[in-house]
Structure formats: C-alpha cells, structure tokens
A and B are shown apart, each in its own frame.
Chain A
C-alpha cells in the first residue's frame, strides 16, 4: 500500500497529464457528535482526476466524512480544503466545484424529472441555453428521456438513483461525490450506474463512498478504509483489497499494525 501524495498545487481544474478535477485535502479532520467520535483525525489527500474509494462498514464515518467535505457539517477540529477553499469559511466556492449524489436519492416526489433538474441547474447558477443544454445532456447520458415528465415519486428506485446522479453531473463539476450509488439497486441497474461512473473516471476527481468491495475494485484507483472514524488503510486499490483478506480491515479489533499513515511521499 502506498500513501497519498501531496503537491503544492492547490487549485487544479486541469492538472498533470490532462487530468481534470479538484484536489481535496484533509488534515487531522475530526468530527464529534456529543461524545461519539464519528471522524477521528483523518489525514487524506485526494489528487485531481483520482477516483478514491472510501470504504468501511456501516457507521464507520464515511457519510460524515463526505458531509464534512460538502460543508453540510462543520468539523470539530482539523482542516479541510477543496482546491484551496475551505467548506467552513468558503462554502459557496466549494459548492461551485461540487456534484453530490447522496446515499438515498434526495428527490422531490411532486416534481417531474425535468423540473427537478432545471431547479438543480438553476440553484447552481445556470440559466437560459446553458441550463437547457445541460439538462438535455444529462437526460441523454442517464437515459431519462422516457420519464422526464413524470413526477419523481412515481419512478422506480433505479430511476430515482439515475436522477440523483444526473443532477450531480449537471454542472460537469471537477469534484464528484457519490455516496453508495448502487445501494438498493438490482444487478442490472448496478451495472448501469457503474458504467456511468467508469466513464466519468479521469474526467474529474471522484470520491466514491461504498461498502461494496467489488464496486471499489472496479472503479477506484485508490481506496481509503475507515473504521470507527479512523483511517485504517490507504493505498492503491489492488494493494489494499488485493490480498483476499481485506474484510479484516473492516472489523478487526487490533488495527494498529494495519494503519498506513498518509504521508507527503509516494504517488497516487
């Protein structure tokens, strides 16, 4: 397992070998809920264009970490930056760079698909032809043309998940965060969603939160494993998940030997 690399580049829409994306850096990031430590001093550096799989059992702190990155929650301590902008003090700058598909589809059942996508586009500052073109583009990409006039409450879970992903892609954001994108979908729908994410790889930074190891193997270039809020492993997907005994990282009590501290050396 190699550790994450760090560079001096703080703002990077286009970086290195044609990679496009945002850089996400967390330093000693901590979040408490009362006495419960949900995220425990996490150091992580996600490089532009990288697809990082954030793995862990239920309650490991994955969603809390994502909510800290999106600025929905404030950290108890530690630092976090997205392309040099802090979700705490500059949330608007962070949100401008962000596409977020949450764990369960966050939709308005009354609204037709097209109205919902137009609303999300508008709330991200798009209007006129730009908005219209973006909505048509994501509807084509996620095959939503058949249902674009239907209220979202009438859609299957698979379609709702597609709509949720479509809204995250609307602004073609440099940072895409997807939380359990295939949760609750049938195998065919899971394959469809994975295809979409596969196509998006390299175009942007993707933070993929999942507890599905096969999904992480298929999509992530690196994986980080959280347990009880701690980062217990970080490295290239093949190295972390390749030994066939990766499940022990999720549950083993004595984790000290497994901890791979992120350092400023090595490459992503």
Chain B
C-alpha cells in the first residue's frame, strides 16, 4: 500500500506540474461556458417565440413538450462535451505509459517493489482524477442554471455522472493505447481513432445483420451516456463503462508483461 500511495503521489505531482493539464482545463472550461450559454440563448429564444405566440400555430402560452431545458440545453451540451472530451483526454493520457517508456523510467518502476498491478492502478486513478478536474471546471454554469431553474440536484448528478463515466471510458482507452505505444503521438492518435470509431457504431447496422448490429450498438459509447442527460441513471450503462475501464486496465497490465518477453 505504501508503494502504491507513493506512486499515486508521484503521478498526481507530475500531472499537476504539467502545463498541458492547465491548458486542457482552461480549454474545457471555456468551451463548456461558450456552448452552455449558446444553447441557453437558443432555448430562451424558443421560449420567447412560443410564449409570445409568434409561431402562430400554438395557443398563447403553450410550449411544445420538446422545448425543455433538458432537451434543448443539457442533451446537446452533453453530446458536445463528449466530443470535447474525445479531443482533450488523450492529450493527457498519452503521456502516462508511453512517456515512462521513452524516458526509460518504466525500468525504474519495474525494479522497485511496485507490482505491475499497482502501476496500472496508480496510472488509471490519476487519469480519473484528471477527468474529475475537467468535470469540475465545466460544472459551474450548468450547475447554477439547473439548480435555479428547478430541474434539480438529481438531474444534475445524472448529467455529470454521465459525463464522468464517459470521461473514465475515454481515459481508459487513452491509457491502454499509451501502454502499447512507444511514443506519445502514436498513443494519442490511436486513442482518437478508437474513441471516434466506437463513439457511435449504429450506422453499421445498415450493412450488418441484426445480431451484429445489436452487438455493435451495445459496444458504442453514445447510446450508453445519452440517457444520463435525460436524468436517467441506468445500471446497464454504468456496467458498460466499468467493463470498458476493466478491459483497458487488463490490456495495460498485459503490456507491462509484454515488455519482459519482447
């Protein structure tokens, strides 16, 4: 446990000393604010149009069901943030294993009392801390808005739980790519490629058989986080992201064994 805590402390220390971390947090905070206010402005415009009956086909004061804060602001915001996460998370996770290998410090780690399992756990936990920091920078405006508009804490938690598990999934993919890559660029590019490919595989359904199509959708990221934006916390979706993280951790662990037999 002492060794694991020492490694975790070292990983967090390096994370918090890296300019990339702060650039990423600033970028995500800014993008979230811009997107959020843009969707909110659009939602307010729609509300104004409908409540002033300028749309003509509705009775005064009647607002269609789909004009609500969740569908007009939080669902699209979540989807845009998901794409933002795909863009930024590999920038940080690419360093994790690949940089150790490039510097030769992996040899240092693997000749201490740290087991490969502890190394993987520390790397993954550090990446998850980073994901949490990213979420924290993006939560301010949506949280204030949700709580003031009465959508409620439960809905807010659901939205951010969705973003968090998505971030966890993307970070796990990034770490697994970093574990198998010899340099950071390859780690980042492969993480982008995998994340974009599995983001939404529903289009393959057109060409594939029903069972294959169903399996591909089940593997996609998108169907598993979109319900969170609606305020729905579904165990099956949580299990998907936990499973994704577990598979990536197992692959990363395997990569450390492959170093010894390469």
Which residues of chain A have a CB within 8 Å of any CB of chain B? 33, 67, 70-74, 92, 95-96, 98, 100, 102, 104, 106-108, 110-111, 115, 118-127, 167
Contacts and interface: CB of A to CB of B under 8 A. Distances in A.
B10 interface: yes
Nearest to A73: B260
B6 A119 contact: yes
Query: Most chain-A CB neighbours within 10 Å: which of B10, B14, B111, B114?
Result: B111
Contacts of B262: 33
A123 B260 contact: no
A175 to B, nearest CB: 11
Interface in B191-221: none
Contacts of B3: 122-125
Contact of A126 (B2, B13, B18, B111): B2
B259 A111 contact: no
B114 to A, nearest CB: 5
A204 to B, nearest CB: 16
A125 B9 contact: no
Task: Pick the 4 closest A-B CB pairs, nearest first.
Answer: A122-B6, A123-B112, A119-B10, A106-B108
16 contacts: A70-B110, A73-B260, A73-B261, A98-B111, A100-B108, A102-B107, A108-B103, A108-B105, A110-B13, A111-B13, A111-B17, A120-B112, A122-B7, A123-B112, A123-B113, A127-B2
A115 B110 CA distance: 19
B150 interface: no
Contacts of A72: 107, 110-111, 259-260
Interface string B1-31: 0110111011001100110000000000000
Interface string B155-185: 0000000000000000000000000000000
Given A73-B260, A125-B3, 18 more contacts: A33-B262, A72-B259, A96-B113, A100-B107, A100-B108, A102-B107, A106-B108, A108-B103, A115-B13, A119-B9, A122-B5, A122-B6, A123-B6, A123-B10, A124-B112, A124-B113, A126-B2, A167-B108
A66 B103 CA distance: 18
B216 to A, nearest CB: 37
Contacts of A104: 104
A95 B9 contact: no
A123 B109 contact: yes
A135 B111 CA distance: 19
B145 interface: no
Nearest to A67: B107
Contacts of A96: 113
A236 B7 CA distance: 41
B137 interface: no
Contacts of A106: 103-105, 107-108
B70 interface: no
Contacts of B260: 71-74
Interface in B83-117: 103-105, 107-115
A167 B17 CA distance: 22
